[in-house]
Chains A and B, each alone.
Chain A
Amino acid sequence: MKTPIQIRLNGEDVAAFADGGANLLDVLRESIGDLSVKGGCWQGTCGTCTVLIDGAPRLSCVTLAESCAGKSIETVAGLRRGPDLHPLQNAFMERFAAQCGYCTPGMLMAAKALLDRNPNPTRENVVEAIAGNICRCTGYEPIIEAVLDAARGDSRRRA
């Protein structure tokens, strides 16, 4: 049985039908068509499916879609504003913080959750914030530096 749910996705009201027991990740990708959020493990382990629900980072693969009705959800597709990339996206480009790119949506959203709550994080804060996001390419250092750059306002490049 499908259940209708309404959410606010990246600032816009959207409605979808969710299968019983469907996770938010699958509903975002398959019902709503937001392919910016990626699935890796479907076990809440790899972090690539991280989205913000009412401002808090959540693992969309282990979040029941029905439980999100009426909530505000942010995915990486909503970071960009018009022609301007988000400072985190600029910093990731400048620091070469993405290689295969598969972890990047989750990394960006975990980092955004951190900066939204703590605009001046320490390196330790950044490491902790992305501790649940697995990257098998960059070795994490460029990612950490990119988040610190974005917090300092050091990323200047525009798309």
Chain B
Amino acid sequence: MTITVKTFARLADAAAALASERGARFMAGGTLVMRAVNEADPAIETIVRSTDPSFLNVAVSSGRVELGGGVTMAAILAERELAFLHPVARVVGSPALREAATVGGNLFATRGDFATALLALDATVMLAGGFGQRELQLDEFISRREHGASLVLAVAFKRPPAEALRFAKVTRVHPKGMSVLSIAAQLPLASGRVTGARIAYAGMAPTPLRAKAAERALEGRALDAAGIAPALAVAADGTSPADDAIASAWWRREILPIHLRRLLLGANYA
């Protein structure tokens, strides 16, 4: 089947085309969509693109960060103000992949390491579609994401304190391997006690997800071996990992609390 490529100067026009055409798929860096095109995915009849410069915006202030949906992992690694995200962006694929892989695209990736970090950062997603523009919490977006339904204009989140975001990617092949699982955690402390922890996993379900049971179990606890024990006991609650070529579901459940423990106690995965 011949595919039509439509390129728009404005994101709003791209979103309108995406909403109005059956079989249209938005393409940013291409690392997901081009795979499907190469495999002759019959669901893709039209590729919609945009050259709108606002899609590449990086806005960092003392309190807030906003990243355009087309910002690449390489662009994040080049931005000193986003150093807290570098350990995450650095483990997304290879150098060549990171030149193309985008923030918006990662929200649709199966493992979605960057999306997992954004979940821990309590990010919101700005979307455009046939409904106009709207903002959604990222976990809500991920739970019902559908290819082609809407265009990710940007993500935004409160800038975390230095070293507040912790991230671990567990792979069998280094330095670049598919993740067995990934964990991101933001652990605000008040008087040495965790308050309002946000923990997210990749590889433990069909999409990245929040570890709500572990978050609740950490509330008011100290980040020491005794304090984190209840969270480790419920680490796998709510997960549904798969058996695949990288690891079995059983193995993922077994190693999850081990790596969560290391991350909570401050192990350096960078």
Interface residues of A (CB under 8 A from B): 1, 3, 19-21, 23, 42-44, 47, 50, 53, 56-59, 61-64, 66-67, 110, 113-114, 127-129, 131-133
Contact in complex: A20, B34 (CB < 8 Å): no
Distance in angstroms between the alpha carbons of A66 and B30 in the assembled complex: 12
Residue of B nearest to A19 (CB): B2
Chain A nearest CB from B74 CB (Å) reads 7
- Residue pair A44, B31 in contact (C-beta under 8 Å): yes
Report which of A19, A43, A110 forms a contact with B95, defined as CB distance below 8 A: A110
Chain A residues within an 8 Å CB radius of B95: 57, 110, 113-114, 128-129, 131-132
Which residues of B76-120 have CB atoms within 8 Å of chain A's CB atoms? 93-97, 99-100
**Secondary structure dominating the interface of A:** mixed
Closest chain A CB from B149 CB (angstroms): 20
Interchain CA distance A42-B36 in the complex, whole Å: 10
What are 14 residue pairs bridging A and B, where the CB atoms are less than 8 Å apart in the complex?
A: A23-B37, A44-B31, A44-B34, A47-B96, A57-B96, A58-B96, A62-B100, A63-B34, A64-B30, A64-B34, A67-B30, A113-B95, A128-B95, A133-B94
Q: Are A1 and B4 in contact (CB under 8 A)?
A: yes
Does B200 sit at the interface, judged by CB under 8 A?
no
Interfacial chain A residues near B30, Cβ < 8 Å = 62-64, 67
Contact of B94 among A42, A53, A61, A131 (CB under 8 A): A131
- Contact (A56, B74) CB under 8 Å given A62-B30, A110-B96, A132-B176: yes
The answer to whether B170 has its CB under 8 Å from any CB of chain A is no
Tell me if B175 counts as interface (CB < 8 A to partner A): yes
Give residues 11-31 of B contacting A (CB, 8 Å): 27, 30-31
Could you tell me the distance in whole angstroms from the C-beta of A134 to the nearest C-beta in chain B?
10
State the Cβ distance, A58 to closest chain B Cβ, in Å.
Answer: 5
Interface centre among B4, B44, B94, B97 (most CB of A within 10 A): B94
How many CB-defined contacts (below 8 Å) exist between A and B? 87
Report B's interface with A, CB cutoff 8 A.
Answer: 2-5, 7, 27, 30-31, 34-35, 37-39, 44, 47, 49, 74, 93-97, 99-100, 175-176
Tell whether A131 pairs with B5 under 8 Å between CB atoms, given A50-B96, A57-B95. no
Indicate the member of B34, B49, B99 with the most A CB atoms within 10 Å: B34
Closest to B51 in A: A67
Given known A23-B34, A64-B34, contact A132–B93 (CB-CB < 8 A): yes
A23 CB → nearest B CB, Å:
6
Known A-B contacts A56-B74, A132-B93; the reply to A66 vs B100 at CB < 8 A is no
Chain B residues with CB under 8 A of A128: 95, 175
Q: Write the nearest CB–CB distance from B187 to chain A, whole angstroms.
A: 28
* Residues on A with beta carbons closer than 8 Å to the beta carbon of B97: 44, 59, 132
- Does the CB pair A131–B47 fall under 8 Å? no
A21 touches B37 (CB 8 A): yes
Query: Within the assembled complex, what's the spacing in Å between the Cα atoms of A28 and B11?
Result: 29
Contacts of B37 in A (CB 8 A): 21, 23
Alpha-carbon distance between A63 and B72 when the two chains are bound, in angstroms: 14
Query: Bound state CA distance, A59 and B31, in angstroms?
Result: 9
Instruction: Report chain A residues within 8 Å CB of B47.
Output: 20-21, 64
A131 to B38 Cα, complex, angstroms? 23
Other-chain residue from B5, B38, B44, B49 in contact with A61 (beta carbon distance below 8 A): B38
B5 to A64, Cβ gap below 8 A?
yes
A122 CA / B38 CA spacing, docked (Å):
36
What residue of chain B has the Cβ atom nearest to residue A65's Cβ?
A: B5
Give CA–CA (A133, B93) in the complex, Å. 11
Docked Cα-Cα span, A53 to B95, in Å, equals 13
Answer whether A47 and B38 are a contact pair too, CB < 8 Å, given A21-B3, A56-B99. Answer: no
Q: Contacts A23-B38, A42-B38, A44-B31 hold; do A58 and B99 have CB atoms under 8 A apart?
A: yes
**What chain A residues lie within 8 Å of B100 (beta carbons)?**
58-59, 62-63
